[in-house]
Amino acid sequence: MITRLFGGECIDGVSKSEVRDLYLVQDKISSVSTDARLDAEYNLSNHIVVAGGIDLHTHIGGGKVNIARLLLPEMVRHGRSRLECTEREWQKIAPLSSPVPGTWETGRRYLEMGYTACFEPAVLPANARHAHAEMADTPWLDTGGYLLLGNDRLLLEWISKGAPQSQINDYVAWMIRAHQCCAVKVVNAGGIDAFKFNQRHLDVDEKHWHFSITPRQILKSLSHAVESLGLAHPLHVHCSNLGVAGNIASTMATIDAVEGRRLHLTHAQFHCFGTEGPHGYCSAAKALADRVNAESNLSIDVGQMQFGQTVTLSGDTMHQFANRKQARPRKTIFQDLECQAGCGVLPFQYRHDQYVHSLLWAIGLELFLRIEDPLRVFLTTDHPNGAPFTAYPHLIHLLMSYDFRMSVFERLHADVQSTSSLASLKREYSLDEIIKMTRLGPARALGLFDRGTLCDGGIADVVIYERCENPEHMFARPKMVFRRGTLVYRNGEFLATATKSTIVANVEIDAKMDVTLRKIWPIHYGYSSDLIRIHQDELLSDQRNIEFASRATKSVVIGK
Amino acid sequence: MICPFCSLLCDANDLNEIDCGLQNKSIVQLAKLRSQLDASFNESVTDTEMETAAAIELLKNAKRVLITGRVASVQTARAAVSLAMKVNGTIDCAEAGHVFKNVLAIQRSGIHSVSLAEARDHADLLIVIGGDALLDDCPRIPNSLNSENASPKTVLLLGTFTDKSTAAWTAAGFQPWSISCKIESVPTALTQWSRATLQFSPNRMTSQLFIAMDTAKYTAVLWSAASLRVEQTDLWVERLLHWIASQNETKRCAALPWTSLDGTFQQVCTWLTGFPGRIRFHDGNPSFDTFTNSYESWLARSCELESDSVVIVIDETAATDPFIAKMVFWLGRKFHVIELTSGSMRFPTAVAGAEVAADIFRADQTLLAHLSPSRECDKSRVRPAAYWLARLAP
Ligand SMILES: [Zn+2]
């Protein structure tokens, strides 16, 4: 199958943005014209041609998402979509059928916005098979998971006993491969486990009551392991003190803890509070942005919040529990899970008239606007925590238009309007920057060298948007989406299914560690490690491949 | 293997070795369902292909379709939900009634819960509520919660337990301690005890109880909705969940609600459709209603209609009942019944983990285990339920 795309402006943040021809030859991109017979040709004048979008932090698989669905059946409203809503309704309701729709809908709506790869950032080891099975049922998208470590009791025990770093490295490698994940995520290092021991607070240098170790030690050890193993994605960290006034201090301490190694801070807007200001909360976005601008080992995703109803779900039981009284509606689920982590599900309404909510909105945008390099700040809403992923087009509009941003700013809580520096930030993102932030940046951050660009030999996941004055309309619905060279979506119609890949880190299991874990796993968990190890075959089918991502090499694909 | 009857780890290597009474129980459960279907049998004796064609034709013309029975694996659950969507049917499994007693309570007021391995490793006090039926239903619970490494844990048995249960917990290495009381009143009593407003005079037993509850650092509270004998179980569960939540204001306490058999189906249905598994499809969109979409109420409503209703009964685990093997395809007076069952000559449905590889959730709903066939089986004979469900789709 050979497709020629001509007349469209190709934008990928690598080559100069210009109108040029692009060929999709089988499942690969090529810029070289071919003598072979074309199967299809599209005139794309007044369109832009970009790579498939990559969401590196969206909760689309695993136990917590299902628990949120179970808790909130009354929030499901079928038959509403973005285009069927008025602007006012859109502000009020999520355009998804619910804050946490089923997989069929999730896959459909992502593709409808031009996204082709999504990553679940909090895979509890015990839930890994579930998470992969769920993501396998999410159509059209390539997927991968970040393994939740740093509250697994075995690791905490080893660190507390002074285990050598090599042992931690081997353990992390074993865990990553056994659960077929592509990165390591830490949520409130040590804090989830501490909460099981009834500890209600844990600062970066505070000791876990039972293990007598600090989050700093855990972060240091895990970031060391991630670097030693050559994982493509840096340690992905949800900092201590989520949502707590003054938490910028622990965010800075977290950065210090990794001692200059690469670090990705997730949903950073929730970890950016100072203590000054009218209600004991203020924005500390500038401090974090300055640090990210100055230190090239750092990247963040924002987790931008939008006003309206959603549900927050997090492994951070400690802080979800602390916020339990803010749940709307007033029902919450907290789980202590499998000696590995936990889960807190809390339905939430973000409101304009609430000072901290308004402040959060402004902090998120401040981060976007203050961080200079669009390859180190990523467009996320931490779906569904800050907002549903379908808010991206709206968010892009906020970033590209100062006037539009100010039109929302004017409706914020008066104390935020009078104290925030957002109005002074006149930057407007260019189209190139938006494309970098949603394609090239996440691809590089994940070690997906053949994605995120329109370079020769790249995977032919290509999206065509019609140019439009209003970027929100433009990015809400692409004209066409190609997956691996096949046209799967055109003008609102889904035309074909797509082969999906699971992205897995390319690390080896150490034989000695395997023997050790086989021995102690049953003592620790009550079942054999064989029961939880996910075999390669389980991830393969006629419609599913495995792709190995690594920092150093090009990715390798395994198919059935 | 993971037992397809209670979904706990089991020493047996083979389905036929499992001797826990649950196999019979599950057969009784489906027999009850069959009796509710009240079909007058008009068994056809054609071969599988012809029967499949007839079943497809039947589904095509059906105005109302119910999919029910027992689904043990992820693969079958996917296929069942997918078929329900294609035929705009209702789907509700035979065990769901018990699951929804807990689900209803959780949907009203949330839950603090704990998974099995966590409770095993971390809880220093177990409160178990119910009666002997709990261990009759799930005899392996004490062993699953027993950690050889930890010092013996205290188990507080509240309800109508006899020496039989106490002995089972002792044998598993626990220090059990039974207080007999009305199960109905346990949530209220716990609330009163923890407020230390006892309505009765404290004796040695209750003062010990105080000490145990007071000194516990992490309490896990276990019950099984399926084996509880209380009125309005969902309200009972809700009261208990309120007590557990209140405990967490100052200490740690969590629920370990036993749901056993339906876990896999519930999880898969929830991630596919956004709803727990008691749903009806309309124009391809699911709607959820615990009451109207239950198989009992579907059958009751359909009885009044002409016979354009089709019931698909999936029986993924009942492997040995010789009667089931015969009753496969019913052209009933009131319903057409298409049954997918093991051992049948016509629609042979494999047993997850015994005949085919399958994914199945453990009772804590956290751990999804991959089961390989536990013995050599005649692969040419085995057709997993998922295969048949896919064939039946229009
Ligand atoms: Zn997140």
Spatial distance between the Cα atoms of A464 and A467, rounded to a whole number of angstroms: 9
Contact A198 B115 (CB under 8 A): no
Tokens standing for B246? 């209140």
Q: Where are the domains of chain B?
A: 15-94+262-392, 101-258
Contact B276 A61 (CB under 8 A): no
Q: Give the closest-approach CA distance of A344 to chain B in angstroms.
A: 9
B124 in contact with chain A, both atoms CB, cutoff 8 A: no
B242 in contact with chain A, both atoms CB, cutoff 8 A: no
In chain A, residues with a C-beta closer than 8 Å to the C-beta of B148 are 523
Contact B274 A105 (CB under 8 A): yes
Strand A22-25 to strand A28-30: parallel, antiparallel, or no bridges (unpaired)? antiparallel
CA nearest neighbour of B77 among B391, B394, B333, B384: B384
Its sign, for the CA torsion A428, A430, A431, A437, is negative
Contact B107 A531 (CB under 8 A): no
Q: B2 alpha carbon to ligand 1 midpoint, in Å?
A: 32
Spatial distance between the Cα atoms of A8 and A18, rounded to a whole number of angstroms: 8
- Could you tell me which residue, A469 or B371, shows the higher pLDDT? A469
B128 in contact with chain A, both atoms CB, cutoff 8 A: no
Using only C-alpha atoms, what is the Rg of chain A?
22
- The answer as to CATH 3.40.50.2000 being correct for domain B101-258 is no
In chain A, residues with a C-beta closer than 8 Å to the C-beta of B217 are 197-198
Q: A95 alpha carbon to ligand 1 midpoint, in Å?
A: 20
Contact B103 A524 (CB under 8 A): no
Contact A526 B117 (CB under 8 A): yes
Q: Give the closest-approach CA distance of B32 to chain A in angstroms.
A: 28
Output the furthest CA–CA distance in chain B (Å, rounded).
73
- Number of helices (H), then strands (E), belonging to chain B: the values are 15, 15
Confidence at A253, pLDDT banded by 50, 70, 90:
very high
Spatial distance between the Cα atoms of A313 and A202, rounded to a whole number of angstroms: 20
Spatial distance between the Cα atoms of B193 and A464, rounded to a whole number of angstroms: 66
Could you give the domains of chain A? 53-445 (3.20.20)
Q: What is the pLDDT of residue B377?
A: 65
In chain A, residues with a C-beta closer than 8 Å to the C-beta of B9 are 526-527, 531
Mutual angle of helices A355-370 and A392-400, in 10-degree steps: 60
How many Cβ atoms from other residues are within 10 Å of residue A324's Cβ?
18
Q: A301 alpha carbon to ligand 1 midpoint, in Å?
A: 10
In chain A, residues with a C-beta closer than 8 Å to the C-beta of B141 are none
Spatial distance between the Cα atoms of B98 and B347, rounded to a whole number of angstroms: 28
> Which letter, b or e, does each residue of B107-125 get, where b requires 16 or more Cβ atoms within 10 Å of its Cβ?
bebbbbbbbbbbbbbbbbb
Nearest to B254 among A327, A336, A531 (CB): A336
Please check the confidence at residue A304 and state whether its pLDDT lies above 60: yes
Q: What is the pLDDT of residue A82?
A: 46
B113 in contact with chain A, both atoms CB, cutoff 8 A: yes
Nearest to B271 among A134, A334, A527 (CB): A134
Strand B336-341 to strand B309-315: parallel, antiparallel, or no bridges (unpaired)? parallel
Instruction: Name the H helices within A382-430.
Output: 392-400, 402-409, 414-419
Contact A525 B117 (CB under 8 A): yes
DSSP state letter for B349: B
* A6 touches A43 (CB < 8 A): yes
Confidence at A393, pLDDT banded by 50, 70, 90:
very high
Contact A70 B106 (CB under 8 A): yes
- The strands making up A22-25's β-sheet, listed across from edge to edge, are A28-30, A22-25, A2-6, A40-43
- Number of residues that make up chain A: 560
Q: Tell me if the bond preceding B348 is cis, omega within 30° of 0.
A: no
ipTM: 0.95
* A100 touches A311 (CB < 8 A): yes
Spatial distance between the Cα atoms of B344 and A277, rounded to a whole number of angstroms: 73
Q: What are B41-49's contacts with CB under 8 Å, separation 24+? A: B41/B327, B41/B330, B41/B332, B42/B330, B42/B331, B42/B332, B43/B326, B43/B327, B43/B328, B43/B329, B43/B330, B44/B329, B44/B331, B47/B346, B48/B345, B48/B346, B48/B347
B285 in contact with chain A, both atoms CB, cutoff 8 A: yes
The label of the residue with tokens 């992969």 reads A132
The region, left, alpha or beta by phi > 0 then psi within -120 to 50, assigned to residue B284 is left
CA nearest neighbour of A192 among A218, A227, A162: A218
Question: What are the residue ranges in chain B where pLDDT is below 50?
Answer: 39-46, 197-200, 320-331, 344-346
In chain A, residues with a C-beta closer than 8 Å to the C-beta of B364 are 338
Q: Tell me if the bond preceding B322 is cis, omega within 30° of 0.
A: no
Q: What is the pLDDT of residue B189?
A: 87
Q: What is the pLDDT of residue B43?
A: 47
B262 in contact with chain A, both atoms CB, cutoff 8 A: no
Which residue out of A66, A98, A311 would a mutagenesis test of the B interface target, given it has the greatest number of B Cβ atoms within 10 Å?
Answer: A66
Q: Give the closest-approach CA distance of A338 to chain B in angstroms.
A: 4
Spatial distance between the Cα atoms of A381 and A390, rounded to a whole number of angstroms: 9
- Residues within 8 A of B (CB atoms), A 509-528 only: 523-527
Output the furthest CA–CA distance in chain A (Å, rounded).
70
Ramachandran angles phi, psi of B268, nearest 5°: -65, -45
The pLDDT tens digits for A309-360 are 999 999 999 999 999 999 999 999 999 999 999 999 999 999 999 999 999 9
Confidence at A94, pLDDT banded by 50, 70, 90:
very low
Spatial distance between the Cα atoms of B354 and B373, rounded to a whole number of angstroms: 5
Spatial distance between the Cα atoms of A141 and A127, rounded to a whole number of angstroms: 20
Span A440-448, mean pLDDT?
95
* A346 touches A320 (CB < 8 A): yes
Please check the confidence at residue A556 and state whether its pLDDT lies above 70: no
A209 in contact with chain B, both atoms CB, cutoff 8 A: no
Span A245-272, mean pLDDT?
98
Q: What is the pLDDT of residue A80?
A: 52
Span A76-89, mean pLDDT?
58
Model-level pTM greater than 0.90? yes
Spatial distance between the Cα atoms of A149 and A61, rounded to a whole number of angstroms: 17
Its sign, for the CA torsion A321, A322, A324, A328, is negative
- Single-letter amino acid, residue B203: N
How many Cβ atoms from other residues are within 10 Å of residue A39's Cβ?
12
Nearest to B370 among A66, A104, A538 (CB): A538
- CA–CA distance from B89 to each of A89, A114, B33, B62, B375 (Å)? 32, 32, 18, 10, 36
Q: What is the pLDDT of residue B319?
A: 52
Q: B7 alpha carbon to ligand 1 midpoint, in Å?
A: 31
Spatial distance between the Cα atoms of B360 and B265, rounded to a whole number of angstroms: 9
Q: What is the pLDDT of residue B305?
A: 63
Q: A117 alpha carbon to ligand 1 midpoint, in Å?
A: 16
Which residue out of A60, A64, A70, A81 would a mutagenesis test of the B interface target, given it has the greatest number of B Cβ atoms within 10 Å?
Answer: A70
B104 in contact with chain A, both atoms CB, cutoff 8 A: no
Q: What is the pLDDT of residue B212?
A: 81
Tokens standing for B367? 């751990």
A199 in contact with chain B, both atoms CB, cutoff 8 A: no
* A178 touches A533 (CB < 8 A): yes
Contact A129 B368 (CB under 8 A): yes
Nearest to A98 among B109, B267, B274 (CB): B274
In chain A, residues with a C-beta closer than 8 Å to the C-beta of B372 are none
**H or E element, residue A557:** strand A556-558
Contact A78 B251 (CB under 8 A): no
- Three-state DSSP class for A348? strand
Output the average pLDDT for chain A. 94
- Residues within 8 A of A (CB atoms), B 8-67 only: 9
Mutual angle of helices A103-112 and B263-273, in 10-degree steps: 20
* A461 touches A483 (CB < 8 A): yes
Instruction: Name the H helices within chain B.
Output: 22-37, 48-61, 74-86, 96-109, 116-122, 133-137, 141-144, 163-171, 186-194, 204-215, 233-247, 263-273, 295-302, 322-326, 385-392
* A46 touches A466 (CB < 8 A): yes
* B261 touches B6 (CB < 8 A): yes
Q: A55 alpha carbon to ligand 1 midpoint, in Å?
A: 12
